Amino acid sequence: MDAKRDIDYRDAFLPTMEGLSRAGALLVAADSQGRASGMTIGWGSIGIIWRLPVFTVLVRHSRNTLHLVEEAGDFTVNVLPPELDEALAYWGKVSGRDVDKWANSGLRPAPSRRVRSPIVEQGILHFECRVIYRGDMIPGNLQPDLVSKLYASGDYHRIYYGEILACYGAP
Amino acid sequence: MDAKRDIDYRDAFLPTMEGLSRAGALLVAADSQGRASGMTIGWGSIGIIWRLPVFTVLVRHSRNTLHLVEEAGDFTVNVLPPELDEALAYWGKVSGRDVDKWANSGLRPAPSRRVRSPIVEQGILHFECRVIYRGDMIPGNLQPDLVSKLYASGDYHRIYYGEILACYGAP
C-alpha cells in the first residue's frame, strides 16, 4: 500500500526548504549489508545540474552517514511532519555507530521506489537520489569567517550531488 | 527609479528553474576595471548551505566569465522575459573576449544593489550573489556517463556558491 503521490521536485522545493529551516530533514542511507541509518540535515540545495534534477547535501567526514552514503551510492531526503520534531532532534544528536536510531525514535524505514537506501515511513515528502558527483570541501576556498564559525574543529563536509530519481509525498 | 520589488529567494525558485530550463538565464560579472560581461546558463541550484541562502552556478574553465567572477568576487543571475530569448541565445554563443555582448544584443547593464557586478536592466528576476565558496570539479568524482556526455573536451566546471544578498524582480 503506497498512498504517497509523485510530486514534481520543483513543487517540493518550498516545503523542503521550510523543513530544513525549521527542524531539519532526515538524510538516510544504507550500508552494503542493508543496515540503514542517517542524520538530521539543515542544509540542502535543489536545482538542475548536468542536465539533471539534483539535490545537494553536505556530510561531515566524521559522520557515520558518510560511509553509508558511500556504500549505498544513493540516499534519501525525508521531510517529517511537525509532530515528529523530537525524533529529528534525536537523529541529530546521536551517532548510528552507537545506537539504533530507528528503534529509539519510533521512526521506521520503508523500501524506496528507485534506490537501495530506504525512506522514512512517517515522512510527508521524500526525495530518492543517486550520487552522481561528490566534492570534498577545500578549506582555503571557503570565506574565512565561515571557516572559523563552522569548521573550528577541522571537520569539513563532503558535498554530495544526487540525481533526483523520485520525489513523492503524502497527498 | 527602481520599480523592482524584493522577493523571498525561495519564492523565486520556480520562475528561475523555468527560465533555466526554457532558454536559460544570464550570469553576469564585472572585471576589476568594472567591465561586465557574462554568459547564458541552463544549470543552477538554490538552497541553504552554511546557514546562508545560496545560489550555485557552474562555469567552465575556458570561459571568459570565469575570470570575471574571480575578479568581482560576486555575480548576478538574471531571468529575462521570453521576448528576449534571442539575446539569451546570443550570449550563449559568443565570447566576451571577442565582442561586446551588451551592444550587440540590446541588453543593458544596470547597477546592482549589493554587489559590484551589474544586473541586466531588462531582466524580470535578479539574484545578487557574493562568492563564498568555489570548488573545481574533479573528473574522477563524476558519474562516468556524464563525463563522456558533457566533458569530452576536458573542459570542466568550477562550481561557485554565491550567498544570495538580494533577490528582486518586476512586480
Q: List CB contacts (< 8 A) between B47 and chain A.
A: 17, 20, 43-47, 56
Q: Cα angle vertex B135, ends B133, B136, to 5°?
A: 150
Q: What domains are there in chain B, each with its CATH number?
A: 5-169 (2.30.110.10)
Q: Backbone phi, then psi, for B53, in 5-degree steps?
A: -70, 130
- Chain centroid offset of residue B130 CA: 12
Alpha-carbon distance A101 to A83, whole Å? Answer: 17
> If you write DSSP's letter for every residue of B152-169 in order, what string do you get?
TT--PEEEEEEEEEEEEE
Return the pLDDT at B152: 95
Nearest partner of B91 among B82, B83, B100, judged by Cα: B100
Return the pLDDT at A3: 86
Q: Give chain B's mean pLDDT.
A: 96
Q: Which of B133, B141, B150 sits opposite A50 (nearest CB)?
A: B150
Cell of B12: 523565486
Q: How many other C-beta atoms lie within 10 A of the C-beta of residue A8?
A: 11
Return the pLDDT at B3: 86
Return the pLDDT at B171: 75
Nearest partner of A47 among A12, A6, A5, judged by Cα: A12
Q: Which of A10, A132, A159 sits opposite B146 (nearest CB)?
A: A132
**All residues at 6 or more sequence positions from B38 whose CB lies less than 8 Å from its CB, including other chains:** B26, B27, B28, B29, B65, B68, B75, B91, B96, B101
Contact assessment for residue B170 and residue B124, using Cβ atoms and an 8 Å cutoff: yes
Contact assessment for residue A80 and residue A25, using Cβ atoms and an 8 Å cutoff: yes
Taking 50 as the pLDDT cut, the residues of chain A under it are none
Return the pLDDT at A2: 61
Lookup result for grid cell 538552497: B47
**All residues at 6 or more sequence positions from B169 whose CB lies less than 8 Å from its CB, including other chains:** B4, B5, B7, B12, B15, B79, B123, B124, B125, B126
Are the beta carbons of B48 and A49 separated by less than 8 Å?
Answer: no
pLDDT tier at B55, thresholds 50, 70, 90: very high
Cell of A4: 504517497
Tell me the nearest-neighbour CA distance from B60 into chain A, angstroms.
12
- Chain centroid offset of residue B80 CA: 12
Restricting to A residues 108-147, those with a Cβ less than 8 Å away from any Cβ of B are: 132-135, 137-138, 141-143, 146
Restricting to A residues 12-51, those with a Cβ less than 8 Å away from any Cβ of B are: 13-14, 17, 20-21, 42-51
> If you write DSSP's letter for every residue of A12-30 in order, what string do you get?
THHHHHHHHHHT-EEEEEE
A131, closest residue in chain B (CA to CA): B143
For chain B, the first-to-last Cα distance in angstroms comes to 14
Contact assessment for residue B31 and residue B65, using Cβ atoms and an 8 Å cutoff: no
Would the pLDDT of B119 be above 80? yes
Residue B144 vs residues A53, A74, A148, B42: alpha-carbon distances, Å: 17, 16, 36, 21
Return the pLDDT at B5: 97
Would the pLDDT of B35 be above 80? yes
Q: How many other C-beta atoms lie within 10 A of the C-beta of residue A91?
A: 28
Cell of B92: 550563449
pLDDT tier at B2, thresholds 50, 70, 90: low
Contact assessment for residue B26 and residue B8, using Cβ atoms and an 8 Å cutoff: no
